[in-house]
């Protein structure tokens, strides 16, 4: 950006004892360019663009570095910026950097849901969705409906902790656990998230509670639901999710 002096309001002042002169050129009533140089007439070595407040209570300066490897220009985008946008360099040609507006990255925030009371009857007949019924940390981008948690478009790092105990019987029993993402509009085996299958083993209902954890990444272009499920794999004892032993923590990273 090049500023041409208007030929009005120019002044020169000297800082006593510093050997530096400053020349102020008024471009408009509220805009001026401040140049500093040696008294001996050496090259200009510093400068700033001063933007004065409307009530003349002060000003904001855009200051050039003391030294530069080479001169360069910044070309601002043609379109106005929106709230939350930031300027980034799109391309550089012959020391001319073209800036574009880009939506600022999302500051990481966390949502968390858990099970507040022992719940569920987990047998071998079906997969059962963990009934997260307590919102420990709420966010506008995450909503929970009977354990199915819908997330807005974005990228998320999700960690689930599942603890199952025998609710009936007293037998060696193994339980399976998995995470699913409803990318197709309907739930099915194909919606299981790769790498999330977990197994836990119960010796008996007196000392049988076992915990598993799973961590996975979800990257979605539109609002999509996910869920955590459990079922009995082997044995004959039914299971249940214990109070305060089941939770899902969701970190939004983009």
Residue ranges of the chain that CATH labels 2.60.120.40: 109-252
Provide the whole-model pTM: 0.64
Check residue 253 and give left, alpha or beta (phi > 0: left; psi -120 to 50: alpha). alpha
**pLDDT score at 149:** 98
**pLDDT score at 230:** 97
**pLDDT score at 30:** 63
**pLDDT score at 86:** 84
Query: pLDDT tens, 122-146?
Result: 999 999 999 999 999 999 999 999 9
Decide if domain 109-252 falls under CATH 2.60.120.40: yes
Summary mean pLDDT of the chain: 82
**pLDDT score at 7:** 40
- Intervals of the chain under pLDDT 70: 1-47, 104-107, 205-208
Query: pLDDT tens, 48-98?
Result: 777 778 888 888 878 778 788 888 888 888 888 888 788 888 888 888 888
What is the C-alpha to C-alpha distance for residues 234 and 164, in angstroms, rounded to an integer?
A: 14
> The dihedral of CA 165, 167, 173, 175: what is its sign?
negative
Rounded percentage of the chain residues whose pLDDT exceeds 90: 46
Write a three-state SS string for the chain: CCCCCCCEEEEEEEECCCCEEEEEEEEECCEEEEEEEECCCCCCCEEEEEEECCCCCCEEEEECCCCCCCCCEEECCCCCCCCCEEEEEEEEECCEEEEEEEECCCCCEEEEEECCCCEEEECCCCCEECCCCEEEECECCEEEECCEEEECCEEEEEEEEEEEEECCCCCCEEEEEEEEECCCCCCCHHHECCCCCEEEEECCCCCCCEEEEEEEEEEECCCEEEEEEEEEEECCCCEEECCCCCEEEEEECC
């Amino acid at each position: 950006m090049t500023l041409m002096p208007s030929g009005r309001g120019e002044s020169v002042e000297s800082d006593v004892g510093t050997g530096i002169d400053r020349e102020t050129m008024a471009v408009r009533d509220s805009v001026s360019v401040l140049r500093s140089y040696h008294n001996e007439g050496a090259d200009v070595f510093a400068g700033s663009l001063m933007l004065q407040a409307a009530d003349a209570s002060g000003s904001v300066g855009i200051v050039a570095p003391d030294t530069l490897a080479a001169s360069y220009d910044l070309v601002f985008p043609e379109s106005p910026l929106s709230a939350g946008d930031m300027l980034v360099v799109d391309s550089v040609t012959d020391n001319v950097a073209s800036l574009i507006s880009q939506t600022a990255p999302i500051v990481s925030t966390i949502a968390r849901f858990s099970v507040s009371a022992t719940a569920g009857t987990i047998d071998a007949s079906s997969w059962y969705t963990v009934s997260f019924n307590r919102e420990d940390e709420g966010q506008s981008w995450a909503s929970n409906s009977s354990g199915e948690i819908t997330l807005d478009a974005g990228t998320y790092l999700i960690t689930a902790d599942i603890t199952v105990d025998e609710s009936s019987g007293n037998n060696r029993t193994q339980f399976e656990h998995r995470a699913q993402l409803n990318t197709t509009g309907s739930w099915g085996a194909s919606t299981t998230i790769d790498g999330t299958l977990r197994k836990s083993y119960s010796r008996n209902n007196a000392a049988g509670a076992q915990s598993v954890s799973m961590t996975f990444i979800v990257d979605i272009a539109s609002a999509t639901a996910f869920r955590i499920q459990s079922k009995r794999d082997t044995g004959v004892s039914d299971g249940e999710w214990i109070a305060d032993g089941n939770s899902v923590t969701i970190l939004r990273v983009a």
